[in-house]
Each structure stands twice: as C-alpha cells, then as structure tokens.
Amino acid sequence: MLKAKIDGIQEACLLEINNASDLQQINAIKIKYLGRNGEITAVLKSIKEASVAERPQIGKWVNDAQKLVEGIIADKENSIQEILKQKRTEEETLDVTLSLPQGRSIGALNPLTLIKNDITDIFIRMGFEVKDGPEIEFEYYNFTALNIPKDHPSRNNSDTFYISDNLLLRTQTSAVQVHVMKSQRPPIRIICPGKVYRPDDDATHSPMFQQIEGLVVDTTVTLRDLKSILEEFARLFFSETTKVRFRPSYFPFTEPSVEVDLSCNKCGGAGCNLCKSTGWIELLGAGVVHPNVLEECGIDSSKYKGIAFGIGVERAAMIKYGIHDMRLLFDNDIRILKQFK
Ligand code: DAH
C-alpha cells in the first residue's frame, strides 16, 4: 500500500515537472516534494511507524523516488536555463547595419603631432634614420660634450630646469647628437624628434616644446649640403617656391653657425604681419659640427665632418598655419583643434 502511495506521489511530481515552464515553478515543486515538509520527505519520516523488518524496503522505495525526482528536476532546470540563454542571445544580436547616432564627433591628431609627423616623414624620405634620447639628461650630454663652456648663460638656473647638480630636463635635442655619435660610427644620418624644456612662458615660448634635431656625419659633408637638405625640406614642408636664407650666427657646438630663415609663406616675401614686414621668417639654427664635439664623441675630426640643425616644431606649426600665439596650440580648445582635422 505504501509502495502505491510513493508511486502516486512520484507520478504527480513528474507530471508537475513536465508542465513547469520556468525556474520559479521548479523551485516550488522542489519545496512541495523534497523540502523539509515535502511529500516525499513526509513518507521518509513516517518510516518509524513501520515495523523494523519493513523499514529497509520502504527506505529503498523512498530513496529511489527521491533520486528519480531530483534527476528529472535537474534535467528540467538545465533545459529551462538553455532556453533562457538562447532567448538572451537572440535579443542581444547586433545589427551592424544600424546608422551611427548623429552629431558624434571623431577625434583627430593634435596639429603639433601632425606637424611633427610631416617633418619626420620628409626626412625619412631623404634617407634619415629616426633616433630617440632621454628627456632627463646629464648636463654632460646637454652642455659639456656640446662644447658649451661652464660659464655659458644657458646653463643658469634661469634657463634650465635642474633636477640635481648634474641632472636636468634637456633644453635641446642636440644632446641626442652626442649619444648617437658615441654609439654609432659614421656615416651618420639621423633626426631626433623630441620634447625639450626651458623656464620660458609667453606668446612665443612654452616651458615644454618640441624640436627635431638633424645630424649628418661623413667624410665630405659641407655647409652647402646643409643648405640643400634644408632647401629640400622647405620645399616639401611649405611650398615649391619657399626660399631658404642663411644668416651668420653663433652656437658653441657648430662652426660656422647659421640661423636659417624661410621666405614668408603668407605673403610670399612681400612683407606682412607674420614676417613683420621683412619677407623672411626665422625657423631654425644649424651649422657645421664643431671639431671639439666630434673629438669628444670619439670621431676623428681630420677625417670626418658633420652638419647639424635643430627645427622648432611649434615654430614650424605657427609659420605653416599663420598662428601668432603658441599657447593656442597647447590650450586644447576644441574650436581651434577642429580646424586642423
Ligand atoms: N640646439 C639649438 C637650440 O635649441 C638649435 C640648434 C642650432 C641645433 C644649431 C643644431 C645646430 O643642431 O647645429 O637653440
């Protein structure tokens, strides 16, 4: 009789499981049959009313029923989970043909990065290799090895950010010339784009700015080669008709030294506010590498000659875009930046 009761409960339970369609219903069934006060549990509890001889048999019937129900519940749970998962995946499907929300703006490179990339590309096309150097530099590389005397004003606290007595933020990418010449034998043909630092801050100076250093060392390079390299650069970077002019100057690490002017690309040389009516705009410093610098770097100055130049990236950008205030390039004003996309 008890067996029939167990079978009856089991059958009713299986029917309910079969009809269940969600996890809540399954949970309710679990409680109803297998919970502490569940129907199958109740039969198990009633075992103590049976005779000792009957108990093992009843125990087995109840255990079998319990196992069967548990197994079927687990299967049903799995199949419901599976259906839910499938439904979720279907709902989450991406429609790649949907159009983008309107009015969302896409970022662009900062004009200074564009200019730096343009200049770098031009020199790569002319056969220059791109080198890198540290921004935190020993004073030896930034000054001493470049033939800059101990009492030179550029070494003062007012012109250089010092970190300690002999460590500083490099003030010029010329320091990389020294690293390259000490580690590489001629022929050398490199440029080094990078950040430099000086305690200056006004419309045409920023405490951080960028330079692109150039260096060629070979047996037969001359000032004439320097001019033709810079003319080619000016032609490619500004325009076909841009002219280059050398003016005598002084840098401790070059002899002779020159300041390099370009014909104003705004007025074509006629004179305007950008070139202060002179028709020329100063762009960079350059020269023939001083023999002391070559020798300091272990290069025989009776065999080899060097030419070098240092281009100001911000200055090149200001000239190219006709900007008078360098700070516009650093302010990140979206109205300005948008114009360079
Ligand atoms: N380092 C110089 C400066 O920051 C620029 C310069 C001048 C670089 C002459 C050179 C050079 O390589 O030959 O003002």
Any atom of ligand 1 within 6 Å of the Cβ of 213: yes
Q: What mean pLDDT do residues 147-166 have?
A: 95
Q: What mean pLDDT do residues 164-171 have?
A: 97
Give yes or no: residues 176 and 286 share one domain: yes
CATH of the domain at 237: 3.30.930.10
- Overall domain count for the chain: 2
Instruction: Determine, yes or no, domain membership for 254.
Output: yes
**3-class DSSP state of 183:** helix
Instruction: Determine, yes or no, domain membership for 191.
Output: yes
Give yes or no: residues 300 and 328 share one domain: yes
Give yes or no: residues 57 and 140 share one domain: no
Q: Show the domain range for 298.
A: 111-340
What's the CA-to-centroid distance between 101 and ligand 1, angstroms? 49
Give yes or no: residues 279 and 331 share one domain: yes
The string of pLDDT tens digits covering residues 241-294 is 999 999 999 999 999 999 999 998 888 888 888 888 999 999 999 999 999 999
Give yes or no: residues 163 and 50 share one domain: no
Evaluate if residue 44 carries a pLDDT over 80.
yes
Instruction: Determine, yes or no, domain membership for 15.
Output: yes
Evaluate if residue 334 carries a pLDDT over 90.
no
Any atom of ligand 1 within 6 Å of the Cβ of 310: yes
Give yes or no: residues 142 and 219 share one domain: yes
pLDDT bin (cut points 50, 70, 90) of residue 97 is confident
Give yes or no: residues 202 and 292 share one domain: yes
Helices (H), the chain: 2-19, 23-34, 39-45, 55-91, 111-125, 139-142, 174-183, 223-237, 291-296, 313-321, 334-337
What's the CA-to-centroid distance between 283 and ligand 1, angstroms? 11
Q: Which of 35, 57, 92 is the last residue of a domain?
A: 92
Instruction: Determine, yes or no, domain membership for 147.
Output: yes
Give yes or no: residues 134 and 27 share one domain: no
| Nearest CA residue ID for atom 7, ligand 1 | 285
Tokens representing 209? 């700015």
Q: Which of 92, 127, 146 is the last residue of a domain?
A: 92
What's the CA-to-centroid distance between 93 and ligand 1, angstroms? 59
Please state, in angstroms and rounded to a whole number, the distance separating the CA atoms of residues 308 and 301.
Answer: 15
Give yes or no: residues 136 and 280 share one domain: yes
Give yes or no: residues 9 and 143 share one domain: no
Q: Which of 174, 181, 211, 246 to mutate to test the pocket of ligand 1 (most atoms within 8 A of CB)?
A: 174
Any atom of ligand 1 within 6 Å of the Cβ of 288: no
Give yes or no: residues 49 and 140 share one domain: no
Give yes or no: residues 27 and 146 share one domain: no
